[in-house]
A and B are shown apart, each in its own frame.
Chain A
Amino acid sequence: MNATKQAARKRVATKRPVPVRGAKPAAAAVRSMNDLMAYAYALEVEAAERYGEFADVMEEHNNRAVGELFRKLARIEHKHAEQILEEMGWTAPPPPPDGGYRWQGMEGPETADFTELHYLMQPYHALEIALHNEKRAFEFFSGLARRATTEKVKRAAKEMAAEEAEHVRLIEDWMKKVPLPEPQWDVDLDPPRYVD
């Protein structure tokens, strides 16, 4: 874990998930190019959907700036998914394998965790989440490349890993343009509300 991620831990959600499902790394299920790209596609779509949900949550809680940022991230991930369809010449999303996609962790390696959110979080925090996810995606494909049984899949997985590494760099650049969180960003002067 690098320093940025440790800062994020302190500021927003704190800890990262550990595997619960006990499923073997997805490599076992990835035997062909098609398998690999189906996984890649699912990973991007799941990530995009989650960012979209995050955007909804933030908008609902009047945190427009972060909402917009998540919306942007959702669009980027969607674009990645579409690129995969295009590269593979698929006209429709590939059918999921029997029993659905199996990730090493709890969800797809690029899918953000709901508990990372805070209603007062700032754009920098959102990018920390994105950075963490891109790194996980990089590790996911790197792992696949290491364990691949055919040269073709290994090469493709390496390419995907390289792409994710590029995404990591992009997010890091983005973070440089965004102000660091204010020291008391999570201070709320009012107590929580009674609802029902």
Chain B
Amino acid sequence: MNDMAVALQPAAYKSDYKPIWCPGCGDYSVLSAFTKAFSMVGRKPEEIVVVSGIGCSSRLPAYLSSYGFHGVHGRALAAATGLKLARPDLTVVASGGDGDGYSIGGNHFLHACRRNVDLTYVVMDNHVYGMTKGQPSPTTEPDWQSKLSPTGTGLRVFHPLVVALAAGANFVARAFSGDPNGVADILAEAIRHPGFSFVEILSPCVTFRPEQRNWKQAVHPAPVGATDDPAKAARRILSDDGFNVGILYRGNRPVYRPPVGKAKKQPADLEKEFEV
């Protein structure tokens, strides 16, 4: 095997820094899937940047051998957008959890979908804030009780996939962490698909939501393939059981690229408009 092939094996995308996630956490599998997906896409580690916010899953970038950016809570998509627009040559993936992405970062989620910059957003959804010890997130069931919500939130569950569709995401998929190969396939497709690709990964929290171990029995492949009709995709997703995994929507909206002048001028060329 030559050097290039070695460099592009999944193992080459792992850093030597070990995760702090609880043993049993779904995020380990997602990490493994990231390495496989990068290997499938075939970009070198230094050509990839994984950007995250704050939370258990947001620790992911450091565990990869690609470049990483571990920023502030809820702003991964903003940082990733800036990076991708400034450096369109890089493959940029934003990742994080449901609290980071749908609560504190909710506004950026909407506008990242709208803007349709060519990046991939991966949310490891476990319906709970893990790093702050088990508070309800936007995807937590209304009757789930915790210290902060002793009687449950009573709030309607946020539906990221449908929201993403409505806001304009160009690729929408659901995956399950228990299937790292399947996640890797979807991630690789998401990265390759132009525009804003959104992948929601059901990733159990064994510490605060041990019952999520049962997701293994609940998940099943999406009965039909991806559509390019957002309305059809939204109807399907709204009426499914929340556990069908696969690529659900593949759009063809034009990718956002801000104007960059063709003729490159020097700063001194801009002085003219000020001259008396």
Contacts and interface: CB of A to CB of B under 8 A. Distances in A.
A193 to B, nearest CB: 8
B249 to A, nearest CB: 19
Nearest to B39: A100
Nearest to A191: B133
A59 B22 CA distance: 12
B221 A192 contact: no
Interface stretch (A8-16, A71-79, A156-164): A8-16
B90 interface: no
Contact of A21 (B177, B182, B214): B182
Contacts of A113: 29, 178, 216
Interface string A53-74: 1001111110100000000000
A116 B179 CA distance: 13
A117 B210 CA distance: 12
B206 interface: yes
A58 B23 contact: yes
Nearest to A116: B24
B24 A13 contact: yes
A174 interface: no
What secondary structure prevails in chain A residues at the interface with B?
A: loop
B8 interface: no
Given A20-B220, A57-B23, A196 B180 contact: no
Given A20-B221, A53-B32, A194-B133, A106 B182 contact: yes
Contacts of B216: 15-18, 113, 115
A115 B181 contact: no
A192 B56 CA distance: 13
Given A13-B24, A115-B216, A119-B23, A196 B181 contact: no
Contacts of B107: none
A82 interface: no
What secondary structure prevails in chain B residues at the interface with A?
A: loop
Q: Size band of the B side of the interface?
A: 35 or more
Nearest to A20: B179
Contacts of A41: none
Interface in A144-196: 191-196
Contacts of B207: 192
B245 to A, nearest CB: 6
Contacts of B26: 114-115
A18 B217 contact: yes
Nearest to A195: B131
Contacts of B28: 53, 57, 114
B18 A59 contact: yes
B213 A194 contact: no
Contact of A56 (B18, B24, B25, B29): B18
A89 interface: no
A21 B221 contact: yes
Interface string B48-79: 00000011101000000000000000000000
Contacts of B18: 56-57, 59-60
B133 A114 contact: no
B42 interface: no
A78 to B, nearest CB: 13
Interface in B194-233: 204, 206-208, 213-214, 216-217, 219-221
A107 B32 CA distance: 11
Contact of A15 (B40, B56, B214): B214
Given A21-B221, A53-B32, A117-B24, A192 B133 contact: yes
A21 B23 CA distance: 25
Nearest to B208: A192
A90 B133 CA distance: 50
Interface string B170-197: 0000001111111000000000000000
28 contacts: A14-B213, A15-B216, A15-B217, A20-B176, A20-B220, A20-B221, A49-B11, A57-B21, A57-B28, A58-B23, A60-B18, A61-B23, A93-B1, A106-B180, A107-B179, A107-B181, A114-B26, A114-B32, A115-B25, A115-B26, A192-B133, A192-B208, A193-B133, A194-B133, A195-B20, A195-B56, A196-B54, A196-B58
Query: Lowest 3 CB-CB distances: which A-B pairs, in order?
Result: A117-B23, A106-B179, A114-B28
